[in-house]
Every structure is written in structure tokens, then in C-alpha cells.
Structure 1
Amino acid sequence: MAIDAVIFDIGNVLIEWQPERFYDTVMPREEREAMFAEVDLHGMNDEIDCGGNFRGTIYAWAERYPRWRGAIQAWHDNWIEMATPAIAPSVHLLRRLRARGVPVFALTNFGIGSFAYAQTRYDFLSEFDRAYVSGHMGVIKPEARIYEMVEEDCGIAPDRLLFTDDRHDNIAAAARRGWQVHHFDGPMGWAERLQAEGLLTAEDIAP
């Protein structure tokens, strides 16, 4: 089946997203583990990804947990240090697809404010033909509605979409709607899939 558009997740596909790694650089690992055990920081981030105010949500959570107030606030104040570095080979693939005229979309769990901030640091985040950002959509992966909204907006049949994501649950949800999918476990495997689909050549995927 021909592919009419390629859809990239962003976190851990185009940009490394490792909050625990960041916190391990600013506090003892044992403290970080205790904080993450007590505070559902990823749940907090889901609120932002659903459209919650970037700073306001984090600072409100920080007030609920005085012991961890400063560390939780760092989720906002030092956010770019968690969302780094760019995964350069994946960015290269994105740009080669676009150079070959293949429509490239993003489908990402990302907050409104955090995505706007990330765009100021990573120019490739403004290069998608369409960017589907959960904060603007009010729903996050892997809920079925977010995939349905993409289909409604782009007008492309599900089986002509090729989607890559690092999370199995997000991939499974897309596959249930009939999307073609690729579990991202590194740029090389993704490059090989794009070549196998006839979207890129060996020269395109060369470093």
C-alpha cells in the first residue's frame, strides 16, 4: 500500500525526552526516585499535554508538595534541559522526506506553551507540513480520538499513513485504526523502513 504521508512522534523520536536523567544530574538518585514515587510528575505533564497552562500547572503541583517544591518547579524552569538533545539522524530523515516531496506530519503529546518554546530552540519543529499537537487538540495519545482527528483534518485514508512512535501503546492505537506503523527503537530501523517503503533511497539515509 502506497504511503501518502509520514507521521513522526517527537519525544524520543526527534528529541530525547528523559526527565529522570535530568533530575539525576541535579539531585541524588535516591531523592529523585523518592520524588517520582510520591509525585506523579508524568501525570502532571499529561495535564499540560492536554492543554493545561505550562507554568501554571507545574507551579500549582509544586505547591501541593512543599518538600519537592523547587524540584517540581524545575520541570518548567529547566524544561529544555529535559528535552534535549535533538536526535540528529531522525531530523535528517525528516528533511530528506520533505526534500523528496513526501508530506511529513507530527503527532505529538506536547503542551501548548512547551511546544511553542521548543520551536524557538529546534528549528525543525516548524518544518512539518502539519503539526498535530495534543495541547491544541485537547486529547492525548493513545486515545482513539486524537488519531481520528488527524484523519479528519488531513483527509488521508488511514492505511496510507505511516506513523512512528517510541511507545508501543501509541503504535497499537494507531494500528487499530488501520494506520501503517513503525515502532521507533532508533533512527537506523526507521531509516530502513522508509527505504523499504520506497520513500527514501540508500543515499538519502546515509549519514
Structure 2
Amino acid sequence: MTLTEYANIDKLLIDIRSCTYCKAQLPHAPNPVIQAAADSKIAIIGQAPGQKVQKSGIPWDDQSGKELRRWLGVDTVQFYDPHLFALVPMGFCYPGKGKSGDLPPRPECAPLWHRKLFDGMPGIKLTLLIGKYAQAYYLGKAKTRSLTDTVLRFEHYLPAFFPLVHPSPRNKIWHKRNPWFSDTVVPLLQRSVSEIIGMRHADH
């Protein structure tokens, strides 16, 4: 189905949540996880749901999500308000375990659905690119050779994109080596998010 055939984003979301395109490559039955609305203001593009999120069906329903909300300076109610945040992974289903953690997001999802999704959310003011897969897909040649450098140069990609490291507890060593992230990036991220949320409330 082409974008123009979708009357609204609600029909698109139904189709995404019932997608079985890469069923044969998944370790469990497909359960695409997504949050979005036609008037979402901030898009968060992550990697793929982990096992806990795959079971609950709630995006970022884990320790990584708690840390991400802390970075954003928002509470759970705000975070799970689709009129504020669109939560869009690169791969919508849990991809399975690899030798050193979860496997990469399935490569079929983003080309299949992302363009239609974002065309259906014209009010997006800022897109957060979390992790190397989202950054590679959306920044292309504009990203640097390492994720650390890309995140360090985050202002280069504003106002459209804000690249971030993944908020996984596994990245504690990275944060110890890169204190500038907490000192500089997080406060600016919180300010940007607060301004956009404030704009939406002012419109109402």
C-alpha cells in the first residue's frame, strides 16, 4: 500500500502492528512495538525491542527506558503520550540473541514503514537517533566514523536530528570515559525537549 492510500496514521499503525513481513527470521511470533500519533512532536528512533518489551508490547519498558526518560527530563506520563513522543524503532520486533547481546534490528522494517510513518507525522520538531543503526540510516555519510564522535558533534545535526548513545546499562563504562555527555549533552537535550513540550501546551 502506498502512502497516499492511507487515509490517516491510525490505519498505518494497525498495519504496522499486524506486520509479519520477516516472521521467518524472528525467534518468536511477530509483535511489532510502536507508539505514534498524527500530531507527535518528538520522534525517538531506537534499535529494536528487547525480550521484556517484546512481551509487554510497551516501548522502552525496561531499564534503558528509565535512563532515557531521565536524560529527557520527562516523566512516564509524558513519555507515553503519543501526542508528545513517537517511539519508532529501527526494527519493530525483538530480533533474537546474538553472541554478545541482542542481534541487530531486522533491516526490513525501516525501508518498509518509516517513510510512511514520518509523512503521517508532519508536526515532528526533533528526531532523536539512538544508537549506531538509527544514525547510519538517517545521517548516512554525514555521520562520523565512530558513534562517540557523532554524539559529540550533535549540534552539527540540529535542528532536525539529535544523535545519542544508547541508554543501556551496558554503556556505563562509556559514560565514565565520556563525562561530557552528562555535563553538556543531557542538559541541552532536556532544554530542547522542554521547549517543544512547552510549545505544544501553548497551542492548547
TM-score (ref. length: structure 1): 0.30
- Greater relative contact order (CA < 8 Å, ≥ 6 in sequence): 1
Structure number with higher helix proportion: 1
TM-score (ref. length: structure 2): 0.30
